[in-house]
Structure formats: structure tokens, C-alpha cells
Structure 1
């Protein structure tokens, strides 16, 4: 009965979804006006004349496009507890993530509005669509097994007991409304544990007897948990443990490399998969059609969108376009203004539109080279710094390199992944293991997400170093007609296509 009532309640969101599908520009313009009106008395709002109710064009002319580093002086004031800086009031919750060059982690403000009008509203939308597409599964009649991170003190105000920072999943779980907490498992005291090995063990034991019908989380960690549940249950068939399991809501990393592994773990036609696009900065999209991998862009969830064409990515004063100007198939960097006080903020993700009616997207990468196959968010600055440290420690230098994931299916048949680094040295280090160890240690120091995935080899093992013979990358570039000039070897990739192509050249 409770499942029936919850299903009725969340399906009321279907009308709202259809409304912004049919009236995208009106919905976005109304949202933009509401954001500016709400923030008009903040320090930022006064600086850029929000009280004047500027048009979309005037807003774009007045307010600069900002990266995290450029916005950080204001964000630091928010972290220190100052009120009315970017958004009304004092912000007490922050989502911690990697990807910045000026610190080990970045801290994104999470306001009450961004939680309830963004993350939770989108969560209801995703649940409503799941009940619409899979009515026979009764997903709300049992438990949703969600696996997230943890939170701790605000790093700039550790003495403030009510100011916390952590993984966005932990912030969401800690503040869930009662109805959502009722259908979720495990309990918070397990879900928010910070020691991952103990956390996986205790959660696996707890959920063995739960009526789990939905999985939700990052594929990287869900796989680790499912393996342990199998071991504890003494079965290869997880449907013997959870006979009514039928849905996996996944996000944060590309699902393609994991799809076959999940089919092996959950070999039943009753299993369905839907993708979400949920970042520290907000809930941006969801898979609204089961037969398509495209993501519906969420337009009434506290985020006003602008888009940077690829030609503008490296411009000192980039010119963004509005939703009504985007074209199919082009790559755009996302610029967002949100009800958490992020104004014309470069989130770092790039998307391309696959549909304009309604607006659907696919995530096509980052504005910088990156490695995020397992949620580790290694950017080019991390890679370069780690290689420099390893070279210094082993008295060598690097001519060229590229790196890519080793996915689970390739990692000796276990449930852990890794990175493979193909490096061309001026002269190879005498001790390649030492080089790899310093590389790994430096990445862990620079990047908190990578460090979490490497903790006790739980999700990522030590990187694999492959030494490339002299001239390897030059020959590859020459073969593609890109030798010389400004042509460069892509440094980091979530796909193995480039790395495998170069390795196949070595075999020949």
C-alpha cells in the first residue's frame, strides 16, 4: 500500500516534465528571472545590477563567465561563513569534488533551494519515469540500495559543527526528505561511514536480507558491493538474494564499459538501466526514454543554461549562446547559473545535443583532457605534476605519454580497474616500479577522488606503466598526418581506442 501511495505521489511530476519539454524557453526564462530576483540583494547581485531585472542579453554582457578558480574568492567567503555573498543567507553544506588546479579538492555550495528544487525534484522525476516505464516492477514497494560517500567538517571552519563538506551523495542522503529515506537502504550510520573497506563489508551484510528492488550509485562502487554480497550469500546469482531487483540508476562515469559486466552479474531480462546526470553543481539530466541513451536536459530544476561553442573554449572573454541557439551534433561547454549561487559558471563538462524537441543531450567529455572512468576525476594538471615528480625521483624525463583506463573485464577478471600509462622516455628509469609508485603517490596527494578510489586497492589498483620505444608517438602522429606544428598526442582519455591503436602499432 505504501508503494502504491508513493507511486501516485511521484507520478504527479510527470505533468511538470511534459510542461518543460513543451515550453523549454519560457521555463528557462522564468527560472532566470527568479534566480536574479532572489539574489538581487546579495553582494554579487548588487555588483552586477540584478535589481534592474536585466534581460538575458544584458545578463550575459554584465556577468563574466567564471571557472572555479576565478569564482573562488567569493566561494572562499561563503566557506568562511559570510552570508549573502552569492546567494541569500549563509550556506552550511558544501559538495567536495576534484578537478581544480588550485587545490586538492573544490567545494561547491549546496543551498536548501538547490537540494529541494534541484536534486530532490529530479530524484522524484527519475522515480516517476521509472514507475511509468516499468509499472510491473513496483520499484517503490521495496528498498533502493544507494551507495555514496561521506562528509566531514567544513575545511575553512572546522570549529562550526553545523557546517559540513563531503561527497554530494552524502550531502543528499544526510538531508533526504522522510519519504525518500523510508525507501532507502542502508541506514545513514552505515551509508556515511568514511572507511571504505569497513563500509562495503557492513553494508553488504546489512542488505543481504533487505527487499532491494533498485540500485543507485556509481558503477565503480556498486560492482565492489555486489561482488561482496555474492561472496557472503554464497551464490553467483544475485536474484537469489534480491528476487525483485529490477532497476539500476547509474551516473558519474560512462556506463558503456560496465554494461557487459553488469549483464554477467545480473543475467536477467528483468533488469533495467537508466542513467542520471548528477554533479556536485546540480542535477542536470536524466534518461527519460529506456530505449535511448540520450539524456533529457532538466530545465526547471534550479539551473539556467548557456552554452559555449568549441571555438570559444579558450577565449579570454568567451561568448556563450542561449538554449534557443544550440544546434544538433555540436560540442558545447556547459555554463550554468544556479540556485546555489554559481553564476555563469564553467562546470567543465561538454555536451552535444541529439534532439531539440525536447532538448536531449549526450555527455561528450570535459573541456580539458581527463580520466574519469571510475569517478577519479584526474585532469591533465594532475597527470603532468605526477609525471614530473616521478621523473625527478628516478632521474629521467618524459618525451611523450598517454593514459587510459584498464576496465574491470580486462583487469585479471576481478572487480577492480586501473590506469595504463604509455610513456616514451628520453631514457627509461632504472626502476620502473619506483617511477610508478611515485606517480601513484603524487596523484593521491593531488586528487582526493583518486585517493579514495585507490584506498586499499578497493576500486583502483596501482597503475600499469608501459615503456614505449623511442619514436613511438612520432610515428603515430606521422601516420595520422599530424607530425609537427601544434599537433599533440591526447594525454588522458576515458576510452582505450587511442592507447590500443598505438600499442597495436608497436606489435606490427
Structure 2
């Protein structure tokens, strides 16, 4: 049983390495898989998709879309007409935190979850097998995820209890159970908390009391929540996490500037730990940091990546160092979806997301490039 799990883990990393070594072949092969599902949907039929389409034919046939444009179709999916967008019926629904606007509510299918589990595991497996961190698979993982049960909505004529994507993925991901979440996601859900200050403090206090005497080695989660928990510990109990746990690595996600802004603060709070960036979102596990360079590398075998630049739309792997644009993704449930992130190439298939697609962020980056562009 352990030998089988080890083989699957090693094969997962091998598939990543094969794809990053030949992104053109990886993206072409992935599109063949995605098209088989897209062609089973009403959206694929209305766009005239064919399983034999090349990447260029796919790009010409399918227009960009974003969450606001998808809302009417998502509402039909909620009423039970899942074929309008999906090739398979949703197993649940999740919502975003809404930190940059209203919460997005998205369906989760078996294939979407499979891609997310596979991509989300790669930073952990890479640390364990290739960066001398096997002990990170043995100790506990501090669970700072959001509740997976927070709201009720009607889906297909029945009431469905659903919650935030991070907590839901933690609950559904068998790897998280194997790593030893402290506390378990079910315990977080039983607190019945939301996003108010008192809810955060109630959750933080429970997590602290539950984990203070445990052998906690790692954390996975959102950078502002990781710093928020540490500040709560200092304020409420007079200690930082570094003073009670011997943590080895922090897997950090969901915000820009993780290494330039959050890493120094996190290391002050959690000790001399490795900070590993993961580029994950409600829509997928798109990439992760795989070495000492402070950038993420794409999962080219799991998601199709395009970028809308000032010079037109190109594949992500075509970006040269210093070029940037608006990221477009295709996933098992989304066709040419503008996720709202701005991405810059650092060369050799290393990338960084430098912010959300907002006029101020674009202006700041243009000024940055004007002043420091000669260094890149």
C-alpha cells in the first residue's frame, strides 16, 4: 500500500517535469483531453468545438469569459442543467472569500477535484522527495482553512450546505487526511463560524488550544491568515508560533508578493522556515515553487494557460522574460476563463503573479517597469 502511494507520488512529479520540459507538447496533449469534455457541453456545441481542434482553432472558436459573464449559465447549472457548462454533474459547490469583491460561487466536479489534488500535491511532494524534507510528511499540518460549511443554497431543487473553497478542498482531499490536519476540517466546520472578527478569534483560539501540544511541522494556507493567526497568538497568549512548534516549511498561497512582503514577516513569527509559494485558487492548482527561485512554475499538464498582452494573446510559455499580461485559463470546468490575475514571466517558465487586474495595479507595474525594467 505504501509502495503504491510512493509510486503515485513519484509519477506525479515526473509528469510535472515532463510537462515543464516540453510545454508545447504538454499543452497540445492537454487540450485533446479537455476538448473531449468541452464537446459534451452546450457551451462547446454553441462555439462549434471539435475534438480534433488545435490550440489555434480552439482560441479562434471560444471567446474569453469571466465570472460575471458566466453567472447566468452557472445559475442554470444550479437548477440542474449542468450540461450547459459541464461534462459531468457537480459533486458540490464552493465559494471564494470575496476579498476583491463579491464572493464567487463555483461548481466542483470529479475531474476538477482530481486536477486540483494532483497539482496541489506537487509542492509538498517536491519538498519531501527532492529538497530533503521527508520529515514534513510525518508531523502535523496546522489547519487554518476556512469553513467548508457556511451557507445554504438550492441546487437541483434540493438544499445544499456549502462553504469556502479552501476548507472544502481540505475536507475532500485524501492527501490532507493522510498528512494529519490539526484540527481536522470537520472540527473547524463544527464551530459554525464565518468571517467576522469574533468568528476569526473563535476559530484561532480553538486551533491554538487543539494544536499547542502537538508536533506541528507545516502549515498550508493563505498568507494573511497565517500572519493573522500568529498575531492572535502573540496578543492572546504572549507567544509566536516559533516559540512552541518546530516548523520546517510554510506552504503559502492566494496573494501576490509572498516572498517580498510576507516571507520576512512569516519567518519572524514562525521561525527559520522555508516559505514555499503555491499558485492556487478556487478555480484550480495552477503552479508552485519548485526550487530556491521565488517564483512559481505552471502545471502545464493540468491546465491550459494563455496571456492577453499589449501585443495580443499568446500562450503562457511563449512569454519572454519581463513580458506580462492578463492570465487566461482553461480547466475541466472553465473554457478560456479570465481569472483576473496579472502575470509576469521571469524567464525559463518561471512566473510571478504581481496583482489583480485593476487599473492601479497595471499603472504601478508600468511605472515599475519604466524605472527598473533595465534590470530584468
Residue 189 of structure 1: how far off its partner (Å): 2.8
- Structure 2: where are the runs of 5+ without partners? 194-198, 369-376
Number of aligned residue pairs? 354
Distance 1:157 1:15, change over 3 A: closer
User: Which structure 2 residues correspond to residues 169-248 of structure 1 after superposition, within 5 A?
Assistant: 169-177=166-174, 179-183=175-179, 184-192=181-189, 193=191, 194=193, 195-229=199-233, 235-236=239-240, 238-243=241-246, 245-248=247-250
Q: CA deviation at 1:139?
A: 0.3
Q: What TM-score results when the alignment is normalised by the length of structure 1? A: 0.64
Contact 1:186 1:206 in 2 (8 A): yes
* Cα deviation 1:36-89 (Å, max 9, x = unaligned): 112212211221222453222221111111122222221221122222111113
- Determine if contact 2:66/2:339 at 8 Å carries over to the other structure: yes
Match of 2:35 in 1: 36
Correspondence 1:354 to 2:346: yes
C-alpha contact 1:25 1:323 (8 A) present in aligned 2: no
Secondary structure, aligned partner of 1:320: strand
Structure 1 unmatched ranges of 5 or more: 312-318, 372-488, 498-508
Among 106, 115, 118, the residue aligned to 1:121: 118
Take 2:217 and 2:24, find their aligned partners in 1: how far apart are those partners? 37
Distance 1:228 1:364 in 2: 28
Q: Does 1:331 align with 2:324?
A: yes
Is structure 2 residue 28 aligned with structure 1 residue 20? no
Corresponding position: 1:45 with 2:48: no
1:164 Cα deviation from its structure 2 partner: 4.5
Describe the superposition over 1:125-183 as per-residue Cα deviations: whole angstroms up to 9, x where unpaired.
1111111344256101111113111233453549634x444321012012121x43132
2:213 & 2:226 partners in 1: Cα distance? Answer: 17
CA deviation vs aligned residue, 1:400-448 (integer Å, no higher than 9, x gap) = xxxxxxxxxxxxxxxxxxxxxxxxxxxxxxxxxxxxxxxxxxxxxxxxx
Q: Write the mapping of 1:253-292 to structure 2, written as runs, cut at 5 A.
A: 253=255, 254-255=257-258, 256-268=260-272, 271-289=273-291, 291-292=292-293
Higher normalized contact order (CA 8 Å, seq sep 6+, divided by chain length) = 2
Query: Which TM-score applies when normalising by structure 2?
Result: 0.84
Over aligned residues, Cα RMSD in angstroms? Answer: 2.9
CA contact (8 A) 1:27 1:299 kept: yes
Deviations 1:231-277 (A, max 9, x none): 676645x445223x100000112323223322322343xx1110000
